[in-house]
Amino acid sequence: MNAQVPKPFEEIVGYLEGKKKIVLMGCGGCATVFHTGGIKEVNEMAEKLAKQGKEITGKIGLPFAVFACYLPMSSMLLNEHKKEIQECDAILMQSCGDGAQAVRRYLEEEMGIVKPLYPANNALGFSSGGPTSFKEECQACGECELGKTFGICPFVQCPKGLLNGPCGGTTADGKCEVDPTRDCAWAMIYRRAEELSQVDKLLEIVAPHQWSKAVRPRRLEVEPIDLMEELKGTKRVIEQLGV
Amino acid sequence: MTMKAGTNLEKVLESGAFAVTAEAGPAKGAVTSVIERKGEMLKPCCDAVNVTDNQSAVVRMSSWSSCVLLKRLGLDPVMQIVVRDRNRLAIQSDVLGAVAMGIQNILCLSGDHQAIGNHPDAKGVYDIDSIQLIQMLKGMRDEKKFQCGEEISGEVPIFIGAAANPFAAPFEYRVLRLAKKVKAGADFIQTQAIFDVAKFAKWMEMVRDRGLDKQTHILAGLVPIKSVGMARYMKDYVSGVYVPDEVVTRLEGAKNAKEEGIKICLETIEQLKEIQGVHGIHIMAVAWEEMVPHIVEQAKLLPRPVV
């Protein structure tokens, strides 16, 4: 998921200075999980902005699992709210930067609407876990090295991103020199190698990483999925699990 | 025997003599006199002198240019390279330049993280790690190829060094890590400062069990302690250094902490000489370089061999 936190309200008010009619849009994905843009947060934002004298002309709350960044889903709602969007002075996106930019792009390229669009959140990037604690574990480098590092990514867990073992700064109790409250990434990797009886694998030299795979911006073309069929499948699995 | 680089350090180590090297921190400015003064002092008592590369992530004159200044004085410099500040292009380019200037001992390090230095907002590079650096230098020397595989015109004769910390966790892993560095191409090893000789001896036993002392030259690291405050500071704040409580207590109880610090250093050297597989010592007298000639003399390691 893309972890995120809300921006300070004053910053948002600053963006909206001189703008009267505001359309709010949230996201039913990560922003719902992180309480930064679920339907509840969109309603709360509407109330707070109304107190600032703003006229909230549109509230586009996305139900859970409807992603702002996934246009086959979010575009349905954008088209539904076309009139409010056309008439507003600004759009406030309660999503990550991906959702915000996907919406901006769709409005411009597919709907021919050019409006000021502002972010309400600061995205922190990939993270995993939940429902309460989340940890950053993958940086989407484009060339996964987990197969050589016992399933723990040293690019994320080690501040130096060392691929071939720990630096000399590990403390005697296996903590990181940069943040002694954290375990050394390689102490964790070594522990797993021991548990899997594969310590000798650590003798293999991992070649320099292909950073060319991370040159931005990256683009990808894929075959579209059948959205309705996939959703039916999800429903079926949940029912089978008896949740 | 054919030499890899033919530096004084390589010749001394290959001759089987007990080598002595020391560290010299470069100036925090553009004056040449700082490193030159240290060089003059260390020249008669060391086989080679290491110049740190922005140690503790604090900016100083580059290791590269300081090594050139030492070379002009007739010393055999060891250039340190950390992977924190330069990517594979910059490092290879610097190595070619260094060899062109007669600097042929190169020590490969990860480097202290920028967060603990004087430019904590800097972006760390870490394009490659220290082991990949060793392997890259070996490729440049033995295959005459850049990391990308392209041919280098002419020879790149270098004597490749690496560091080892026998005291950092996980202890058992540290020998494996040394084995990996040797496999990558480390011709010599400098260890972290040794205060716990028993633990170091245990590590050396594991090193010998893997036959690593026969494949690389191990220089045991030493830091002479100047004061009780320095001992406490190193114990608590210098990453990678392990100062046992006994050392601190002993300095606290001494009438003259400086003399006691030198005494501890000399006792350690005597014990290190007895450990099989130790090929020499590397003295890191932080801001106390003037004591190195005295230490080497008292340790009966003078005169240095002429090879």
Q: What are A132-159's pLDDT values in tens digits? A: 999 999 999 999 999 999 999 999 999 9
The predicted pLDDT at position A55 comes to: 98
Residues in chain B whose beta carbon is closer than 8 A to a beta carbon of chain A? Answer: 83-84, 88, 110-113, 115-116, 124, 126-132, 135-136, 147, 163-165, 167-170, 173, 176-177, 179-180, 183-184, 192, 239-240, 242
Q: Is B1 a member of any domain?
A: no
The predicted pLDDT at position A171 comes to: 86
The predicted pLDDT at position B239 comes to: 80
Q: Is B294 a member of any domain?
A: yes
State yes or no: pLDDT of B237 exceeds 90.
no
Position B15 confidence tier, pLDDT thresholds 50, 70, 90: very high
Partners of A169 on chain B (C-beta within 8 Å) are 110, 112-113, 168, 239-240
What's the pLDDT tens digit per position in A171-216? 888 999 999 999 999 999 999 999 999 999 999 999 999 999 999 9
Contact A211 B132 (CB under 8 A): no
Share the mean pLDDT of chain A.
96
Does residue A145 sit at the B interface (CB-CB below 8 Å)? no
The predicted pLDDT at position A173 comes to: 87
What's the pLDDT tens digit per position in A168-177? 999 888 999 9
With b for 16 or more beta-carbon neighbours within 10 A and e for fewer, the B210-222 pattern comes to eebbeebbbbbbb
B70 Cβ neighbours under 8 A, 6+ residues apart: B24, B35, B36, B39, B49, B51, B77
State yes or no: pLDDT of B210 exceeds 80.
yes
Partners of A167 on chain B (C-beta within 8 Å) are 110, 130, 240
State yes or no: pLDDT of B87 exceeds 90.
yes
Q: What is the CATH number of the domain that holds B223?
A: 3.20.20.220
Q: Which helix (H) or strand (E) holds B108?
A: strand B105-109
Name B76's bridge partners. none
Q: Is B305 a member of any domain?
A: no
Residue type for A122, please? N
Q: Contact A145/A137 with Cβ under 8 angstroms? A: no
Q: Is B239 a member of any domain?
A: yes
State yes or no: pLDDT of A243 exceeds 80.
no
Instruction: Indicate the number of domains in chain B.
Output: 1
The predicted pLDDT at position B194 comes to: 98
The domain of B81 spans 8-298
Q: Return the domain boundaries, chain A.
A: 2-129, 141-214
Q: Is B3 a member of any domain?
A: no
The predicted pLDDT at position A242 comes to: 86
What does the pLDDT average to over B257-284? 97
What is the percent of chain A where pLDDT is above 70?
Answer: 100
The most distant pair of C-alpha atoms in chain A lies apart, rounded to whole Å, by 66
Position B57 confidence tier, pLDDT thresholds 50, 70, 90: very high
Q: Is B12 a member of any domain?
A: yes
* Alpha-carbon gap: A148 to the closest alpha carbon of chain B (Å): 15
Residue type for B11, please? K
Share the mean pLDDT of chain B.
96
Q: Is B160 a member of any domain?
A: yes
Instruction: Tell which residue, A52, A58, A67, has the closest CA to residue A15.
Output: A52
The predicted pLDDT at position B293 comes to: 98
Q: What is the dihedral of CA A188, B171, A174, B225, to 10 degrees?
A: -160
What's the pLDDT tens digit per position in B148-178? 999 999 999 999 999 999 999 888 899 999 9
Position B60 confidence tier, pLDDT thresholds 50, 70, 90: very high
Instruction: Give the pair of three-digit tokens for residue B294.
Output: 């005295």
What's the pLDDT tens digit per position in A4-39? 999 999 999 999 999 999 999 999 999 999 999 999
Contact A208 B127 (CB under 8 A): yes
What does the pLDDT average to over B85-111? 98
Residue B106: phi, psi to the nearest 5?
A: -130, 125
Contact B169 A187 (CB under 8 A): yes
Q: Is B303 a member of any domain?
A: no
State yes or no: pLDDT of B110 exceeds 90.
yes
State yes or no: pLDDT of B1 exceeds 80.
no
d(CA A69, CA B291): 65
Q: Taking the CB of residue A170, how many other CB atoms lie within 10 A of it?
A: 25
d(CA B103, CA B120): 30
* Alpha-carbon gap: A190 to the closest alpha carbon of chain B (Å): 7
Nearest to A172 among B147, B163, B167 (CB): B167
Does residue A165 sit at the B interface (CB-CB below 8 Å)? yes
Nearest to B116 among A168, A178, A186 (CB): A178
d(CA A97, CA A186): 32
The CATH classification number of A2-129 equals 3.40.50.1860
Nearest to B124 among A160, A166, A205 (CB): A160
